[in-house]
Amino acid sequence: MARQSHDTGYKEVFSYPEFVQQLIEGFMPPEIAQIMDFRTLKNHSGNYITPLFKEKFEDVVWSVEVTWEGMRQRVYLYILLEFQSKVDLAMPIRLMHYVACFYDHLLKKKEARLKEGLPPVLPIVLYNGSRPWTAKTDMYDLLQPEPPAFLRVYQPHLRYYLVEERRYTDAELSLKSTPLSGMFGIENAGDSWESLQGAVDRIVAVIQANPDKERIDRVITRWIKRHLIRLGAEVDLERLNSLIEDKDMLAENLENLVKKERLQGEQIGIQKGRMETMRETARKLIAMNILTDAQIAQASGLPEEEVKALHSGIKH
């Protein structure tokens, strides 16, 4: 069965080199960013995947020149945007297949030649799910039990670097102070409108401080509109064309959602309190051992089935 996916808007975001740079510099080991010349970033995104995996997914491919030990070489960044509700335990297998297909593409397009050797690929998985990521990050680790020593050298290895948004606190994200970290903050706010309002305020401040704020504003605004649609927010998105210019309008909408969320919470609390009072009344009448279950139900307001359950010692 194909896995469910949705348009997160991140693919458009990562079509811009500055967001790729923010991902590498802000969320990956510093030694990786230090050897990269981000001025040489080049977009290679396309459809390289065979029908082996039929689910829809979002990915972007960039290349960048790196320098180490006096050598300069181009490295490909294969960024997989894994925004599913369920952790995919087969991720190492999928990425091994994706990278192999990408190499096949490079050979067919004569962008690489086997005689000269294949270029390195750095697989990156960006995950925004609410559940902790539990999939193995290396293909070899899927082999259980571990093969005997004489077989290990023949087993496949492919490791990917995981960027799991939920692992970063608001304090950590605020220290990075980039549009991408602001987006992670909005994602981590979940469907709490009050937290979302605070996260939006922070990202607006980050955008306003950016020298290229008009273009960044357009990109982030399109992304946040998709995000609000996924959350089911009752916001007039037709009027939202700029986070900077329409900040007050969006804040008003989010404030109304906060009030609605609180009201619903209060109503749920009141209803729970009433139900517990009714159950306590029923328990006292049951203890008197005078009335029938039907009479107790009428007196307490509980359904007769629940009174019978309480009578039998079953708690609900």
Stretch 202-212: mean pLDDT, rounded?
Answer: 90
User: What three-state secondary structure class fits 306?
Assistant: helix
Q: pLDDT at residue 249 above 90?
A: no
Cβ 105 vs Cβ 81: under 8 Å: no
Q: Do residues 38 and 256 touch, judged by C-beta distance below 8 A?
A: no
Burial class, 269, CB count within 10 angstroms (exposed 0-12 / middle 13-18 / buried 19+): exposed
Predicted confidence band of residue 255 (pLDDT cuts 50, 70, 90): low
State the DSSP H helix or E strand holding residue 249, giving kind and residue range, or none if neither: helix 247-288
The percentage of residues in the chain with a pLDDT greater than 70, rounded to a whole number, is 82
Mean pLDDT of the chain: 83
pLDDT given for residue 2 in this prediction: 36
Q: What is the value of pTM for the model shown?
A: 0.75
| CA–CA distance, 300 with 105 (Å, rounded to integer) | 72
Using one digit for the tens of pLDDT, what is the confidence trace for 98-142? 999 899 999 998 999 999 999 999 999 999 888 899 999 999 999
At residue 62, what are phi and psi to the nearest 5 degrees?
Answer: -125, 160
Measured CA distances, 312 to 43, 134, 276, 316 (Å): 68, 42, 17, 12
Give the closest residue to 200 by CA, choosing from 175, 174, 182.
182
Comparison of pLDDT for 79 and 277, the residue scoring more: 79
Alpha carbon of 64 to those of 28, 69, 75, 155: distances in Å?
15, 17, 5, 29
pLDDT at 6: 54
Q: Tens digit of pLDDT for each residue in 39-90?
A: 999 999 876 666 565 555 688 999 999 998 889 999 999 999 888 778 899 9
Q: Whats the size of the chain, residue-wise? A: 316
pLDDT at 256: 58
Phi then psi dihedrals of residue 219, to 5 deg: -65, -50
At 267, which amino acid appears? Q
Q: What angle do CA 179, 182, 186 make, to 5 degrees?
A: 140
Instruction: Measure the CA–CA gap between 303 and 296, rounded to whole angstroms.
Output: 9
Helices in 113-246 by DSSP H: which ranges? 149-152, 170-176, 179-188, 193-208, 213-231
